[in-house]
Chains A and B, each alone.
Chain A
Amino acid sequence: MSTREASTPQTGSPGRAVEGSRAVAETVARCRPQVVPAYPISPQTHIVEALSALTRSGDLAPCEFVNVESEFGAMSLCIGASAAGSRTYTATSSQGLLFMAEALYNAAGLGLPIVLTVANRALGAPINIWNDQSDSLSQRDSGWIQLYARDNQAACDLHPIAFRLAEELSVPVMVCMDGFVLTHAVERIAVPDQETVDTFLPVYRPQQVLNPDAPMSIGAMVGPEAFTEVRFLADGRMRRALLRMPELAERYAKLVGRPAEHLARGYRLDGARTVFLAMGSVLGTLEDVIDEARADGLAVGAVELTCFRPFPAQRLRTLLAGAEQVVVLERAFSAGGAGIVTPELIAALADPPAVPARCSTVVAGLGGRPITKKALRILVRDAAASRAARFSFLGLDRDLLSRAGYGRASDDAPGSSAELLLARLHPRESS
């Protein structure tokens, strides 16, 4: 594998120049959602704005686009519309997703096949509009399938797959795409045409429909006598995605003439002793750096994790069977704990017979800090020389920390550390 492996369209439609958000909105429209409740929040806004315009122009019909008063309202309306038998979609970001949280769990628990695009953005405080993956990863346990897009082509292609997967399994699906980095990028994207999507995604046939003429309850109370069993079945249903998602992705790939999406995908793993694992838009930059390192003779490769929920433990064990160490690039972390992906990976690899790779975590690109090739080159070289720390932050500004008193007594001063750092970052403005 000495040549560069393309991950963008090669044999299918050549695509056209279009913004990521717009391409996703057009793809979603071709999935024929019947109800789209939405509340704007950056960087997701362009997606629902475009869907609003497509509904108004009649290009997306029949469809009810509903301006709601909040994200909680958006997801609640999704639940109602889905329970009444409509294919239902919405999108959000950051604190908007948190405001949906209560309803997210209900959507999953009720088995409603809603599709939600998360334009990934950091969580406050301090307020930060930029990209990381703290928002969707905070909803890890909400019972939603989570798929992460490496680029805008994947962001588009994952949506028809998401609708079909959700409707077959009665499990809602989140398609996560990095905010700004993908949503606001203009590039060559092949939006699947209506005929292709119609061929792949059958007309929605709801499994449960609330109907005033035939009253019934959904979401009724389940007590201790059966709650564990409800959750046991939810786990099994979610795990079925591990088999079904690759099958659907393969079928979709044949229709559009592009490589199939996977639960997880290896890049230049032949003989790779050190493997970098990541989710989302950093994969492209990372693969460029892996190519450079390979040219320099370093035995490195990458794994793209597309499906985080359900966690594809077996697939990752297979991909990482030959690795000596795995460096997980995480776009979010758990303060006081560690990475969010890494502990799951460690558990997956430890299952007997154990995959012997050592795992470490590098927290990178928090709150929109660019993940540069320069920083990745250093990381790749250090890791290949077995100098990777067990847990570290990529590009941590130690000088800024030291100016703010880190390492001295004031290091553990109570109050907001954000204001302390801002004062050192812009001394004139704040004096």
Chain B
Amino acid sequence: MYQIRVHGRGGQGVVTAAELIAWAAIADGRYALAFPSFGSERTGAPVEAYCRIDDQPIRSREPVTEPDLVVVLDPTLLRQRFVFDGIKSGGTALINTAGTDTSAADSQLMPHSVGVRTVPATEFARQRTGRSLPNAAMLGAVAAATGIVPLAAVRDAIAARFPGPVAEANAAAATDAFEYLRSAAHADREVNRVHT
């Protein structure tokens, strides 16, 4: 079972991100379960959502406390220690930030060897959609950083969720983020592990 926790703020599409990962995984022939943390979802308030992916039916409905992947849509959340709580040894932290500085994540004193990847998802979203909603671009980054869902399924999930032009722009942003992480220029950061 592969477990994902998405952190962001109300209005950034945190819940939609988790749902689209589940959609992509199911379209890819596997089982998945996505659900939000059901807080008071006010704009700007910290929000989290969860996604589990498996080859067999998923029964557990507890919140994800030991994620294989933590997706951070808003880097200002890195100041809050809970973002990486319980992340598994060998897991991945995927952070939406324009910088390549991962010291904010390093300073979380993650207890295990965790691969930290950064991607300027908001920038890709702004270029392609004219809006600064990073969630769709981050899905492309999830596909590139983990391979847990293929990019094609991510693009299909976006197309199924949003109307035509909005879907096309968001799928393009997802592809940008995918290629950014897959490009040779960033290959050296493929495994940028934090050790403590």
Contact = CB atoms under 8 A, between A and B. Distances in A.
Interface of A: 4, 6-9, 15-17, 19, 43, 129-131, 151, 180-181, 184-188, 281-285, 287-288, 368, 370-374
Given A184-B35, A372-B62, 19 more contacts: A8-B59, A15-B26, A130-B38, A131-B38, A151-B59, A185-B34, A186-B18, A186-B19, A187-B26, A187-B31, A187-B33, A187-B58, A188-B26, A285-B59, A285-B60, A285-B62, A368-B38, A371-B62, A374-B65
Nearest to B40: A129
A-B interface, 4 closest residue pairs, ranked by CB to CB distance from nearest? A284-B59, A8-B57, A17-B26, A17-B23
Contacts of B58: 187, 284
28 contacts: A6-B56, A8-B59, A9-B57, A16-B26, A17-B22, A17-B26, A17-B27, A17-B32, A131-B38, A180-B35, A180-B36, A181-B35, A184-B35, A185-B33, A186-B18, A186-B19, A186-B22, A186-B34, A187-B22, A187-B33, A187-B34, A188-B57, A284-B59, A284-B60, A284-B61, A285-B60, A288-B59, A372-B63
A365 to B, nearest CB: 10
A425 to B, nearest CB: 15
B139 to A, nearest CB: 14
Contacts of A283: 59
Interface in B44-61: 56-61
A288 B193 CA distance: 32
Most buried by B among A7, A186, A282: A186
B1 to A, nearest CB: 10
Contacts of B157: 17
A283 B27 CA distance: 26
Tell me the dominant secondary structure on chain B's binding face. mixed
Contacts of A181: 35, 61
Nearest to A6: B57
Contacts of B26: 15-17, 187-188
Contacts of A285: 59-62
Contact of B60 (A9, A43, A180, A288): A288
